[in-house]
Amino acid sequence: MQQPAFDLCRLLCDTPRDPHQRLALRRGQALSWGEFQARASAWRTVFAAQSGLRVGLYLDDSFEFAAALFAAWHAGKTVYLPGDKLPATSAHLRRHVDVLAGALPGAELNVPPADPSQLQEAGWRPADWSPLQPDAVQLLIFTSGTSAEPVAIEKRLGQLFAEVSALEQAFGARLQGAEVLATVSHQHIYGLLFRVLWPLAAGRVFHAERYAFVEDLAAALSPGQAVCLVASPAHLKRLPALDLRALCAVFSSGGPLPDEALPDCWRVFGHAPLEVYGSSETGGIAWRQREPGQGSQWTALPGVRWRVEEELLYIASAHLPTPAWSAAADRARDLGDHFELLGRADRLLKIEEKRVSVAAVEAALLGSGLVRELRVLSLPSSTQHGRLQLAVVAVPNESGWALLDQIGRKALGDRLRQQLLQSLEPVSAPRRWRFVSALPLNSQGKTTQAALLALFDPKRPPMRLLSHSAHAAELSLHIDAGLPQFDGHFPGHPVLPGVAQIDWAIRFGRELFALPPRFCGLDALKFQQIISPGLTVALSLSFKAEQGQLSFKYSSPRGLHASGRVLFGSEA
């Protein structure tokens, strides 16, 4: 069976590569194996000077990230990978690590200078590399659990490298000399494996930048060059009208790819994506490529054993912490050489001492004919001494939006609740609703519990996303009279404060664009006319990444209400 060309444990020790060989591309410019060795040496000098063993690492550039990651491992550090670089994430990470590195706010360890003379001044010297130890636990991945608190999952290097070997055995022959592009972040396990570790082991050129929008891919393709795409279902179920049939393979993982996304995938790519099933806890388990008219059976990855007991899937592989059999969180049906997934096995919530089936609530709401997609969660009641209530974040379909525009958000929630009461107990009927244009997604294309909970922040106005591109967005905000921003401003004549308008522009700007972490100031701020309760306003946002400038404008049928620019910079 096909094995990776390079042993990742010895990647920097004795691999017989030409130092001029291409390793990666950054904005079309080649980055060599020799440059990678130099950057890894520079990072190792930085890490070796630190006494602490636990390092929080975040970098947007995959080439720089790979150099820093291997340098940290060779310096004996355990690397903690956060999913983003938000200030709140950094604050949480500080409780677990000794030092922060890279692009994290307040990081003590910055990116080493690229100039060789500056490196010499900083005390850099070429590293003496020894093989990594596969049994060493040197990586912790943060993933969302059943609460908003991220869960840290330990990984031995051998687990990661065994999975890379399985991927090459399963798919290597299809890729040949393909370059690797990605819409997902390497800060998560899927992106780490597919866009960094696997290309390094197989000797495939990978792109250093992440393509946040599928529309950006066409410009990144080189004529005649084989290319594979590492994507998520969130990107593949909203494909634009493009011709990307030059891609030799498209991978999808991180969640189920809806059946209705397949026709668009065939139209854009000319073939179905290679879907990989697994999780941060289990590693990769199985794969499938659905052809028209075929079933949805899964094939185990090389080295993965599986069995089904009482409809529960059990697995054993080198991707797990131990060789023992482990229960997956999914129900399954044994089909002989393959298996079929039947849904999550842990989808129960406890509300008022009664178990509520999330699947039953979802099925009833999807059957209403008004909802396209949703998530069900439990929230503490603000009026019933913390007692849990069922809540729903829903994406209406066209009929749902039309009804919402006609009767309002509260009335739509009440109508859906009444429909649920026809088939479910009252405790199973949600009491809190949020209607959104799309479920919130992180850089891995996943909807986290923390992001869902943020939608219920009482200071957040009901928002509908009308359009979104890499540099601009149009939003519709309903200015509810119950928003706390109106408290005391002013009694009898409520007016939305200007500071609230600026706060919303920044809040939604951070959700929609990769804004730099540091607020630097305001420019050209104007407030033309007041915004009063009950009004629906349009918020136009545009972001110029080069200048770190977020422009905003509030308008309504009454005219322009406010406008201005918010300036951002990198962490000082």
| Overall average pLDDT of the 317-335 stretch | 91
Is residue 295 assigned to a domain?
yes
Question: Are 385 and 335 contained in the same domain?
Answer: no
Contact between residue 524 and residue 558 where contact means Cβ atoms under 8 Å apart: no
- What are the CB-based long-range contacts (under 8 Å, 24+) for 481-490? 481/533, 481/534, 483/458, 483/459, 483/533, 484/458, 484/459, 485/459, 486/533
Is residue 368 assigned to a domain?
yes
Cα separations (Å) of 338 from 281, 341, 434?
Answer: 22, 10, 39
pLDDT score of 353 more than 70: no
Residue where one domain finishes, among candidates 154, 187, 203 = 154
* Beta-bridge partner residues of 502: none
> Which is more confident, 224 or 57?
57
Q: Tell me: the pLDDT tens digits for 161-176?
A: 999 999 999 999 999 8
List the structure tokens of 306. 């599986």
Name every residue whose Cβ is closer than 8 Å to that of residue 509 and which is 6 or more positions away in sequence. Answer: 515, 541, 543, 550, 552, 566
Residue 147's pLDDT band, with cuts at 50, 70 and 90, is: very low
Q: Could you give phi then psi for residue 500, rounded to 5 degrees?
A: -70, -40
Q: What is the CATH number of the domain that holds 384?
A: 3.30.300.30
Is residue 79 assigned to a domain?
yes
Question: Are 123 and 8 contained in the same domain?
Answer: yes
| Overall average pLDDT of the 109-130 stretch | 70
pLDDT for 116? 60
pLDDT score of 385 more than 70: no
Question: Are 251 and 335 contained in the same domain?
Answer: yes
Is residue 405 assigned to a domain?
yes
Is residue 330 assigned to a domain?
yes
Residue where one domain finishes, among candidates 345, 378, 398 = 345
Burial class (CB in 10 A: 0-12, 13-18, 19+), 422: exposed
Question: Are 18 and 130 contained in the same domain?
Answer: yes
> What's the gap between Cα 532 and its chain centre?
36
> Which percentage of the chain shows pLDDT scores above 90?
66
pLDDT for 27? 92
Q: 10 Å Cβ neighbour count for 466?
A: 13
Of 221-225, 351-355, 383-387, 562-566, the range with the highest mean pLDDT is 562-566
Question: Are 524 and 545 contained in the same domain?
Answer: yes
pLDDT score of 120 more than 60: no
Q: Quick one: CA dihedral 60, 219, 200, 3, positive or negative?
A: positive
HSE-up of 210 (CA within 13 Å, CB side)? 27
Contact between residue 215 and residue 242 where contact means Cβ atoms under 8 Å apart: yes
User: Rounded mean pLDDT of the chain?
Assistant: 89
| Overall average pLDDT of the 118-141 stretch | 78
Q: What DSSP string describes 443-503? A: TTS---HHHHHHTT-TTSPPEEEEEE-SSEEEEEEE--TT-GGGTTS-TTS----HHHHHH
Question: Are 478 and 559 contained in the same domain?
Answer: yes
List the structure tokens of 241. 């009208």
pLDDT score of 207 more than 70: yes
Question: Are 339 and 393 contained in the same domain?
Answer: no
Residue 188 is inside which H or E element, if any?
none
| Overall average pLDDT of the 548-562 stretch | 97
Is residue 202 assigned to a domain?
no
Characterize the bridge pairing of strands 54-58 and 78-81: parallel
Which among 8, 6, 63 has a CA at the least distance from the CA of 38? Answer: 63
Q: Tell me: the pLDDT tens digits for 95-104?
A: 999 999 999 9
Question: Are 365 and 443 contained in the same domain?
Answer: yes
Q: What domain range is 447 assigned to?
A: 347-456
Cα separations (Å) of 114 from 39, 41, 120, 208?
Answer: 8, 12, 11, 16
Q: What is the CATH number of the domain that holds 298?
A: 3.40.50.12780
Q: What is the CATH number of the domain that holds 510?
A: 3.10.129.10
Q: What DSSP string describes 199-227? A: HHHHT--EESS--SSGGGHHHHPPTT--E
pLDDT score of 194 more than 70: yes
CA 318 to CA 281: how far, in whole Å?
Answer: 12
Question: Are 322 and 229 contained in the same domain?
Answer: yes
Residue 111 is inside which H or E element, if any?
none
How many helices (H) and strands (E) the chain has is answered by 15, 29
Is residue 28 assigned to a domain?
yes
Residue 121 is inside which H or E element, if any?
helix 116-121
Cα separations (Å) of 295 from 24, 259, 341?
Answer: 38, 11, 11
CA 494 to CA 488: how far, in whole Å?
Answer: 8
Name residue, tokens 């869960």. 151
Residue 149 is inside which H or E element, if any?
none
CA 420 to CA 413: how far, in whole Å?
Answer: 11
pLDDT score of 16 more than 80: no
List the structure tokens of 230. 């590492």
Q: Tell me: the pLDDT tens digits for 252-300?
A: 998 888 888 899 999 999 999 999 999 899 999 999 999 866 778 999 9
Q: Tell me: the pLDDT tens digits for 217-256?
A: 888 888 889 999 999 998 898 888 889 999 999 999 988 8
Q: What is the CATH number of the domain that holds 94?
A: 3.40.50.980
pLDDT for 148? 46
pLDDT for 122? 52
Residue where one domain finishes, among candidates 397, 430, 456 = 456
Name every residue whose Cβ is closer than 8 Å to that of residue 401 and which is 6 or more positions away in sequence. Answer: none
Query: Left, alpha or beta for 457 (phi > 0: left; psi -120 to 50: alpha)?
Result: beta
Question: Are 360 and 232 contained in the same domain?
Answer: no
User: What is the number of structural domains in the chain?
Assistant: 4
Q: What is the pTM of this model?
A: 0.74
Question: Which residue type occupies 117?
Answer: S
Question: Are 449 and 480 contained in the same domain?
Answer: no
CA 325 to CA 317: how far, in whole Å?
Answer: 8
Is residue 503 assigned to a domain?
yes
Query: Left, alpha or beta for 114 (phi > 0: left; psi -120 to 50: alpha)?
Result: alpha
CA 147 to CA 453: how far, in whole Å?
Answer: 9
Question: Are 5 and 146 contained in the same domain?
Answer: yes
